Structure 1
Amino acid sequence: MPIALVGFPLGLVIFTGLAWWKWHARGPEVEELHAFTLPITLEGLAADRRKIEEFAAPRYAGDVQAEQGLKSMAAMIDGTLGPENAGYRMELLPGPGNSGENWPIIIAHAEAQDGSKPPLWIVTPYDTDPSRPDHSAVETTLAVAGGMAGQQFKRSLSFAFLPHGQQLGPQAEETRTKLQKRIGENARVMWIEAVSWPSLLEGSRHNPSLSQWLSKEVGLVAGEATDSSSSSSWIDFKLTRGSQDEDTPENRYRAALTVADLIRFLATQ
């Protein structure tokens, strides 16, 4: 009698299980070993989107398959940016979870040239809103971080991925509070909620020169910062999706290149 695996593809279960075991075996932090720059390409972004949709969608708490998607996405982030690939120094902070699960806050660190400037944090949710699934933020941030691997700027860079960034409620508040405490008071913080083209930056709180740079270099104008479930006084800049923007591979590619330029600009100020 043939044996059937019900619920999840075998490859997904094996992939997630091995990655989960590796995390617990190695401890909460791994030092940078080497840095392989992963250039941002149209083909690479398309491949990442297919991988995310196949192995890590949907992603939210309260549903068995969606919780498996959270695990798989976390494993993909850690594997892409960790010591064996992009070479970032990885840090895992325990996050809240359901039924004994504990989806971590994943942080990839890159040191500054001299450490004299406050750090720049790029914060991205790796979950999805159950009513509006969107992969643009996490896939773009992964691509940008890979493309900046091994580079140094005036500011240190920390790419933080949150398991409850697209949701409301106690788990989301606990996650953001823990991350805010980890970041501290002096850092600059960019929140990447979603990414599209040509709409990109919702607001800038503390850097008027950013609006000038966007207008001059890429033809974008930064609007007034607004508050939302993912925005508060500790967030300086927020990237979000325009309601009229088409989700095409070309637009995602152009947006990713602009986000990379934007982060480089902020890291050198």
Structure 2
Amino acid sequence: GPAPGAPGHLELRDVGVEQDGQPLLTGVNLTVPGGTSLAVVGRSGSGKSQLAAVAGRLLDPDTGSVLLDGVPLDGMEPARLRREVAYAFARPALLGTTVEDTIAHGPWTAAPDAVREAARAARADGFLALLPFGYATPVADAPLSGGERQRLGLARAFAHPGRLLILDDALSSLDTVTEHHVRRALDARAGRCTRIIVAHRLSSAARADRVAWLEDGRLRATGRHDELWEDPDYRAVFSTDTSAPSPLAAAEPR
């Protein structure tokens, strides 16, 4: 496995993914320096979720290779890999009997203090306090909105820190204020954890260290959001996002 204390340097080398003979990703070469954040953007069907899946080995590429701190993912023991990579999804599966079990569930069982700290980082502690039995409330009895489910999924990822955190559209149902606080929690992991964020909102792309712009399964460009913003085709990717009309409006101070 990767050396202890390595920062989570991620490399995709000539990665290709096919499904039923159709290319979903083609010739993707991408380097994400350890401890930085990368927003993955593109129109629907551009290959964003496939890239997120191969980055943490939920999916093996048909061609090419993926390395974490110089070690090919397909050469790592699965148990070790699961401790190094945390995921959060748009529609997370909430496993466990109680809400606390759900956040604690993972490659190891998170301690109660870690569960509560993670819930605060994901801005889930407020609505959890209103549940009939708080953290001991059975998940089946907890009336959760889509945004609250996403926050539980984020809390679960925060409670199991590794060197790589991948968010696949995991902020899509959050309101603007909650998203701002969660992004600050993500920023606090800079230098200690590499963050891959599949983003539809302009605000998420603006805050990332770099952006990977996918188009038809190929990497069209990488760079800072403000650099890519000069391209009208890039701006058109966010044409349906009315929450932040410009990169300056989206980029709060860090």
Coarse TM-score class (shorter-chain normalised):
under 0.3
- TM-score, normalised to structure 2's length? 0.27
Bigger proportion of residues as strand: 2
- TM-score, normalised to structure 1's length? 0.26
Pick 1 or 2: higher relative contact order, CA cutoff 8 A, min separation 6: 2
